[in-house]
Amino acid sequence: MPRKRILLVRHGKTEWNGLSRFQGKSDIPLNDEGKCQAELLAARLEGWEPAAVFSSPLSRARETAEIIASRNPGVSPVLRENLAEMGFGTWEGRSLHEIESADPESFCRWKESPFECPPPGGETFESVKSRVRSALDEILSKDGDRTVAVSHGGILRMMLVLLLDLPPRQVWRMKISNCSATGIDVGKRGSSLAFLNDDLHTRMSGSDLKKLPFPV
């Protein structure tokens, strides 16, 4: 199996990100800052030439993917429901502070192990794992040695669990910022982490991005 580089991209910033509100399945669009972040990432990726751009259908991810694809002629986002964010049940739309104040016991359990202790009415670990595995199977089967997958914090962490065989609790200690890219190399010997949470483009001007290519 020839080596593949998968870029795992978290969507750009939304108003709810700025308010520390759980988004989950709620379809919150990018704000102006998020759109700017996506444009900067797209400029940095120009010339990287991914064979495909997969995306969650939720607007914050889809808009990010569309901006990335716009810099790569002939590539359009492939929307997949199994890349949508995990459901946070009754916590969606509420802030971390509100939830911690209202239900400290559940919040403490979730904070210790978010996958294994979902919020009330939230999506189970096995459900997230099953659909993300299905998404990865399709992404890995795609022809070409470079692919972009645009999704959400919870889903990207599950991808790291599956690709790198990591304990679920450990991946929540990894920061995955808005519009960051994480590089995974997949080859005949398995998967390896090339880089994590690279969001340098979000702090640079467009003219400087040609000096900051992603590793190949």
Residues labelled as active-site residues: 11, 85
Is 144 annotated to bind a ligand? Reply is no
Is 16 annotated to bind a ligand? Reply is yes
Is 178 annotated to bind a ligand? Reply is no
Is 15 annotated to bind a ligand? Reply is yes
Is 11 annotated to bind a ligand? Reply is yes
Residues 6+ apart with CB under 8 A from 190: none
Is 10 annotated to bind a ligand? Reply is yes
Under 8 Å between Cβ of 100 and 21: no
Is 173 annotated to bind a ligand? Reply is no
* 94 closest CA partner among 198, 20, 176, 193: 20
CA separation for the pair 35, 206 (Å, rounded): 13
Q: What is the DSSP letter of 211?
A: G
Residues 6+ apart with CB under 8 A from 174: 157, 160, 196, 197
DSSP string, 123-165: PPHHHHHHHHHHHHHHHHHSSSSEEEEEE-HHHHHHHHHHHHT
Binding residues: 10-17, 60
Binding residues for substrate: 10-17, 60
